[in-house]
């Protein structure tokens, strides 16, 4: 439907080596989003792209529900009085606010940039005693930031769509920290569904979310050598509880402030899927999140059309019985054109059925990820479940290999610069000081020691040479 409307746009003009242009064109060509809507940083999700995103969302819904994290929904309008409760947070988001007034009233609200000021006044209402804890909730919602930096669809939008936030409150610090690790476990599973191997790092205190006392963040290596932040798990300590008055009576009747965790991510997951897996011919979707896992294309002429269409339909039904999401393409277009269209859309597996296949009672399979062709007997169609599984695993392995091969260990700033010039990532020891952090940042606009490894290893700081117990990763960042 929309595929046709944008005929003028569904050709890929440049290869992936020109990543930024490639990314921009593929969003429309593959029916992911249409950015021709007249609001900067606001996009229309097209049906196909929204389908991929909702498949990712469906998975996080399942995971969160299974962990007893309850789904809720909070209003998008946040009273300014709520925002002002935490001046540190407000300082960080005020300049990026969308200001709202109702009718002829004065401006009283902003559109939610993050969940804290909307949720925590309610937490204060709901939490009275230790029996009310833990309180574990999440919502999937849009967030709004008036970005002054260049916007990029799904990467830096002004309306950040299909965004989830988990917020939990606990009676002890230990329980909160355990919860954060649990969020990490859930996120690892989401990454697996996306067939992506991200880098998970710790942020030093001075780089954390406003008010947080620690955080895990995920980063993806993008094809241009830059890294993109993709989700964070923030330990808020008691800072927000103190600002919002979220108190509870413990079992001895003493009052204490709640320990809180907030965790969020959204459409950047899809941005990473597109960027990491795609190639010159278009998207390559991991089967687990692909709206269409198998496309069946008949090779036919007027004479054999009916017969072949019938076969196509029966094979479709057989695959559907196996739980596979299948589509047939019966358009009056050349087979070549159809191959081209479905390659752009990244359907993991193509099945071709022509007159010769009919005779041999076989079909031709073509994998999107490695382009390998294979003839399969009709009696063996059950194997397709396993093939899709292999596509998923192969994509994950590729992502992991690419990430690992990009990381180069270096022990001085000169070498680090050389590595960065090659669009690679540097792995360095760091003493933990903000001044050494800043010196790395000074190498070039955009370069950053974006986080430290979760493991602790002894070495010498790449900047000052002092003893160091941490190592971290340096790259150009988004």
Binding positions for a copy of itself, rule: CB under 8 A: 1-2, 4-6, 34, 36-39, 42-47, 50-51, 54, 70-79, 81-82, 95-103, 105, 109, 111, 118, 121-122, 125-128, 131-132, 135-137, 142, 146, 148, 158-159, 161-162
In degrees, rounded to 5, the angle at the alpha carbon of residue 86 between the alpha carbons of residues 80 and 92 is: 85
Q: Which residue has the tokens 């992936």?
A: 16
Q: Which is nearer to a copy of itself, 40 or 466 (CB)?
A: 40
Going by DSSP bridges, is the β-strand pair 349-353/294-298 parallel, antiparallel, or unpaired?
parallel
- Residues 67, 59 contacting (CB under 8 angstroms): no
Least distance (Å) between residue 316 CB and a copy of itself: 16
Nearer to a copy of itself by C-beta: 82 or 300? 82
DSSP β-bridge partners for residue 376: 363
Cβ proximity to a copy of itself: between 7 and 386 the closer is 7
If the CB atoms of residues 68 and 253 are measured against a copy of itself, the closer one turns out to be: 68
- Residue with smaller CB distance to a copy of itself, 51 or 225: 51
**C-beta closer to a copy of itself: residue 1 or 359:** 1
**In angstroms, what is the minimal distance from the CB of 288 to a copy of itself?**
19
- Smallest distance, a copy of itself to C-beta of residue 284, A: 23
How many Å separate Cα 130 from the centre of its chain?
35
CA distance 272 to 228: 8
447 C-beta neighbours (distance < 10 Å), count: 19
Shortest approach of a copy of itself to residue 97 CB, angstroms? 7
Nearest to a copy of itself of 338, 424 (CB atom): 338
Give least dist CB 130 to a copy of itself, A.
11
| Residue 41, CB-side half-sphere exposure with 13 Å CA sphere | 18
Rounded least distance, CB 440 to a copy of itself, Å: 31
Contact between 138 and 164 (Cβ < 8 Å):
yes
Sign of the dihedral defined by the CA atoms of residues 45, 55, 185, 179, in that order: positive
CB of 279 to a copy of itself, least distance (A): 26
Residue 379: CB atoms within 10 Å: 9
Which helix (H) or strand (E) is 236 found in, with range? strand 227-237
Query: Which C-beta is closer to a copy of itself: that of 57 or that of 203?
Result: 57
Going by C-alpha positions, the residue among 321, 307, 391, 381 that lies closest to residue 351 is 381
User: Do the Cβ atoms of 452 and 437 come closer than 8 Å?
Assistant: no
| Backbone phi and psi for residue 168, each to the nearest 5 degrees, phi listed first | -130, 150
CB of 248 to a copy of itself, least distance (A): 10
H or E segment and range at residue 155: none
Tokens of 141: 């919602």
56 exposed, middle or buried (CB, 10 Å; 0-12, 13-18, 19+)?
buried
Question: Of 86 and 220, which CB lies nearer to a copy of itself in the complex structure?
Answer: 86
Tokens at residue 81, please?
A: 């009085």
Q: Please, what is the minimum distance in Å from the beta carbon of residue 41 to a copy of itself?
A: 9
CB of 113 to a copy of itself, least distance (A): 12
Q: Which lies closer to a copy of itself via its Cβ, residue 36 or residue 360?
A: 36
Question: Quick one: CA torsion of 33, 35, 40, 41, rounded to 10 degrees?
Answer: 20
Q: Are 339 and 347 in contact (CB under 8 A)?
A: no
Which among 392, 192, 399, 437 has a CA at the least distance from the CA of 286? Answer: 392
Smallest gap from Cβ 129 to a copy of itself, in A, equals 8
Of 150, 155, 72, whose CA–CA distance to 118 is shortest? 72
Nearer to a copy of itself, 105 or 445 (CB): 105
Q: Which residues contact 231 (CB under 8 A, 6 or more apart)?
A: 187, 217, 218, 263, 264, 265, 268, 269
For the bound state, the minimum distance from the C-beta of residue 200 to a copy of itself, rounded and expressed in Å, comes to 29
Give the residue with the Cβ less far from a copy of itself, 44 or 181: 44
CA–CA separation, 23 and 38 (whole Å): 20
């Amino acid at each position: 439907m929309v595929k046709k409307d944008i005929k003028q746009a569904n050709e890929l003009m440049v290869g992936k080596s020109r990543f930024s242009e490639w990314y921009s064109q593929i969003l429309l060509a593959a029916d992911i989003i249409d950015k021709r809507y007249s609001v900067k940083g606001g996009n229309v999700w097209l049906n196909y792209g929204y389908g991929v995103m909702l498949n990712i969302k469906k998975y996080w819904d399942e995971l969160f529900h299974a962990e007893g994290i309850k789904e809720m929904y909070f209003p998008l309008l946040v009273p300014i009085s709520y925002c002002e409760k935490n001046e540190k947070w407000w300082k960080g988001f005020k300049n990026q606010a969308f200001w709202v007034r109702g009718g002829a009233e004065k401006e009283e609200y902003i559109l939610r940039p993050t969940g804290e000021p909307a949720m925590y006044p309610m937490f204060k209402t709901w939490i009275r005693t230790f029996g009310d804890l833990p309180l574990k909730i999440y919502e999937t919602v849009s967030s709004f930031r008036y970005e002054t930096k260049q916007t990029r669809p799904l990467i830096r939008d002004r309306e950040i769509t299909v965004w989830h936030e988990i917020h939990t409150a606990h009676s002890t610090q230990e329980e909160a920290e355990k919860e954060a690790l649990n969020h990490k476990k859930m996120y690892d599973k989401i990454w697996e569904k996306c067939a992506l191997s991200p880098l998970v790092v710790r942020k030093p205190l001075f780089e954390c979310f406003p008010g947080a006392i620690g955080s895990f963040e995920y980063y993806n290596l993008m094809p241009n050598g830059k890294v993109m932040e993709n989700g964070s798990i923030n330990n808020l300590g008691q800072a927000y509880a103190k600002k919002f008055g979220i108190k509870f009576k413990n079992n001895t009747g003493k009052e204490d402030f709640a320990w809180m965790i907030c965790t969020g991510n959204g459409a950047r997951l899809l941005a990473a899927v597109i960027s990491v897996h795609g190639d010159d011919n278009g998207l390559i979707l991991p089967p687990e999140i692909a709206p269409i896992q198998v496309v069946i294309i008949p090779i036919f002429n007027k004479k054999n059309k009916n017969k072949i269409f019938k076969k196509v339909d029966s094979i479709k039904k057989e695959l559907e019985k196996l739980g596979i999401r299948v589509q047939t393409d019966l358009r009056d277009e050349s087979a070549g054109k159809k191959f081209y269209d479905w390659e752009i859309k990244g359907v993991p597996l193509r099945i071709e059925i022509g007159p010769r296949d009919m005779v041999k009672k076989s079909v031709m399979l073509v994998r999107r990820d490695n382009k390998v062709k294979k003839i399969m007997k009709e009696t063996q169609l059950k194997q397709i479940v396993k093939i899709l599984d292999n596509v998923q695993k192969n994509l994950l392995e590729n992502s992991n290999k690419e990430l690992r091969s990009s990381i180069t260990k270096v022990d001085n700033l000169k070498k680090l610069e050389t590595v960065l010039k090659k669009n690679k990532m540097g792995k360095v020891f760091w003493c933990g000081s903000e001044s050494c952090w800043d010196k790395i940042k000074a190498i070039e606009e955009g370069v950053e020691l974006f986080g430290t490894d979760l493991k602790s290893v002894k070495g010498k700081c790449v900047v000052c040479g002092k003893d160091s117990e941490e190592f971290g990763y340096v790259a150009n960042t988004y």
